[in-house]
Structure 1
Amino acid sequence: MMFSNVDLDRIVAGEVDVVFRTWKRPMHRAGGRQRTSRGVIAFTSVEPVELEDITDEDARRARSDRATLVGFLTRKEGTAYRVGVRPAGPDERVTLREQADLSAEQLAALAATLAGIDSRSQKGPWTRRYLELIEARPAELAETIGASIGVERRPFKANVRRLKELGLTESLPTGYRLSPRGQTVLRHLRAGDAAG
């Protein structure tokens, strides 16, 4: 779900606890979560709603007025949904990527995770190569880095997201860079080469 920065700030501040969207099918479910630039947003409820059942109180909770809200919901075809929202804390990947003081066991586990990803890849090992590319080319367009190794933008970005889930990379306004955690893991992988 797309949120404006203003809406995100209001949700995090507790000023907004319900939003409305028009969807052809539900895009979220109660109990789901979404990472955003302001942290994680939890969906406490997702219910279809008839426009005539939207109240002034609903609009107030969404920091709008009823006429504006109904106008917004009728701009697209589909069913209107009332979605309960609440802040659910910081994006855990942000915390994870700063955790660079890793034990030998943690480093071995991360190396094993990367090896597992590589072993399941139909195109061969790629995780370390991507870490090294991002280290060498921070803040460079994903499309440019991907093209340099013969990978299109979309699959390149999808692979980088897998590394981001492990806290190893972070997105910049353009491109990526290794997180402190990613730098530690890459040093560990290189040390393994030297030891071998």
Structure 2
Amino acid sequence: MLIKQEILRGIVDGKITVAFRRWKRPTVRTGGTLLTSVGQLAIQAVDAVDLADLTEADAGAAGFADLDELVAVLSKKKEGSVYRVEVRFAGPDPRAALRTALPNADELRGMLERLARWDQASPVGPWTRAAMDMIERRPATLAAELASDIGMEKPRFKTNVRKLKGLGLTESLKVGYRLSPRGEEVRAALGALEGDAD
């Protein structure tokens, strides 16, 4: 669920409490969370609603000037149902703190096992070490260039980097990525493992 920056700021300030979307099926669920550029949002409710039942109060709660503006936006897309998504700011992105937290021995072992599983399950072969090495050598480089240099399609590369980011191993920059302190530690452990295997 993509949310514009001005709407995100309104959610953080508590001025915006709902979002409306037209979907074939919802992309968020009640009780879930959504990571955004401003932090984590809590999804408090997701309900199908009839466009004709929306009110001026709904429009205001979603950050629109009036009901006509909300209806116009929702009417641009014809397929799918209209959903009301109740949201609130839940706090900073938990991955931010994770990036600086160096793993203890058990956490490191668990992360190395997860990376090995990702490598084994990948249709393009092992990628985790190559991606981390490339990001370490070339921070702030376009994803398309990094992907090409390791022989991977850009969408797959970006998906894989998001997996690493979920473990707190990488940070997104305005352009490209860099390894976090946690990522540097895990990369060093991967190198040590490969050294042991030689």
Q: TM-score with structure 2 length normalisation? A: 0.88
- Partners of 1:116 and 1:80 lie apart in 2 by 39
Mapped to 2, the partners of 1:148 and 1:75 lie a distance apart of: 40
Matching of residues 157-168 of structure 1 within 5 Å: 157-168=158-169
Displacement after TM superposition at 1:111 (Å): 2.0
Alignment partner of 1:34 is 2:7: no
- Residues 66-85 of structure 1 mapped to structure 2, 5 A cutoff: 66-78=67-79, 79-85=81-87
Distance 1:183 1:74, change over 3 A: same
The alpha carbon displacement at 1:176 in A equals 0.8
Structure 2 equivalent of residue 94 of structure 1: 96
The equivalent residue for 1:54 is: 54
Unaligned regions of 5+ residues in structure 1, if any?
Answer: none
CA RMSD after TM alignment: 2.0
Aligned length: 195
**Is residue 16–residue 62 contact of structure 1 (8 Å, CA) maintained in 2?**
yes
Change (3 A) 1:25 1:112: closer
- The CA distance in 2 between the partners of 1:151 and 1:193, in whole Å, is 22
Contact 1:23 1:77 in 2 (8 A): no
1:178 aligns with 2:179: yes
For residue 34 of structure 1, what is the amino acid of its counterpart? L
Residue 195 of structure 1 and its aligned partner are, at CA, apart by 6.0
Match of 1:3, as an amino acid? I
The verdict on how the C-alpha distance between 1:61 and 1:104 changes in structure 2, with shifts beyond 3 A counting, is same
The corresponding residue for 2:155 is 154
Seen in structure 2, the aligned counterparts of structure 1 residues 105 and 50 have a Cα distance that, compared at 3 Å, is closer
User: What SS does the corresponding residue of 2:91 show, helix, strand or coil?
Assistant: coil
Normalising by structure 1, report the TM-score: 0.88
> What SS does the corresponding residue of 1:151 show, helix, strand or coil?
coil
**What one-letter code is carried by the residue in structure 1 that aligns with 2:93?**
D
Amino acid at match of 2:37: S
Q: Secondary structure at the match of 1:41?
A: strand
What is the deviation of 1:53? 1.5
Distance change >3 Å, CA 132–CA 6, structure 1 → 2: same
Deviation at 1:167, TM superposition (A): 0.8
Tell me, in whole angstroms, the C-alpha distance in 2 between the residues paired with 1:20 and 1:106. Answer: 39
Q: Is the 8 Å Cα contact of residues 112 and 186 (structure 2) preserved in structure 1?
A: yes
1:113-147 CA distance string (max 9 Å, x none): 22232233343322112111110011111111111
Q: For residues 94 and 167 of structure 2, what CA distance do their matches in structure 1 show?
A: 10
Residue aligning to 1:9: 9
CA drift at 1:192: 4.2
Shift of the alpha carbon at 1:178?
Answer: 0.4
Cα shift at 1:194: 5.2
Residue 84 of structure 1: how far off its partner (Å): 0.9
Contact 2:130 2:150 in 1 (8 A): no
* Contact 1:24 1:77 (8 Å CA) reproduced: no
CA apart distance, 1:17: 0.9
**Identity between Structure 1 and Structure 2 (%):** 46
